[in-house]
Amino acid sequence: MRHVLSVLVENEPGVLSRISGLFSGRGFNLDSLNVAPVLEEGVSLMTIVTRGEQQIIEQIVKQLRKLVTVIKVTDMHDSTTVEREMALIKVNATESNRAEILRIVDIFRCKVVDVSLDELTLEVIGDHGKVEAVIALLERFGIKEIARTGTVALRRSMQPEK
């Protein structure tokens, strides 16, 4: 099961390696990890995407909380969230298939951010599923390069009643 974890940490040297070391040392899955400072001075937010059975996820959350530099851990699975990630995709675009690629761009509300005679570079923004879908659709044209951010997520303001 895929889980998105929001981890507030003290923004100090070494904090990233404490977290990544925890995942590698204990053999936890780490699909993506995104870090950036938040509003509060000296605090960063890490968004971690991981996979595992419930018991493993529970361990991951507890192990993260145990780290002395971690302030707060939220498993986004427990609430409804907005999630986004972004990908830049450089895809082969010949005269014959360019139109079809642009149709996909249109349908998925991607942007063309760079063009050459035989390539298009697209920007896709969406949740994880959407980015995966666009990549899958473009694969047959030949993807030359890809650069992706990890997922970032926030809880929705209105949560359904439990």
Q: Which residue ranges make up the site for another protein (CB under 8 A)?
A: 9-10, 13-14, 17-18, 21, 25, 55, 58-59, 62-63, 65-66, 68-71
For residue 108, count CB atoms less than 10 angstroms from its CB and return exposed for 0-12, middle for 13-18, buried for 19 or more. Answer: middle
User: Least distance to another protein from the beta carbon of 125, Å?
Assistant: 32
CA distance to 60, 98, 99, 151, per residue, from 85 (Å)? 22, 25, 25, 5
Nearer to another protein, 68 or 136 (CB): 68
User: Least distance to another protein from the beta carbon of 159, Å?
Assistant: 25
User: Least distance to another protein from the beta carbon of 151, Å?
Assistant: 23
Cα torsion for 70, 44, 89, 112, to the nearest 10°?
150
- State how far Cα 11 lies from the chain centre: 20
User: Least distance to another protein from the beta carbon of 56, Å?
Assistant: 10
Residue 156 is given by DSSP the state -
Nearer to another protein, 1 or 112 (CB): 1
Nearer to another protein, 17 or 94 (CB): 17
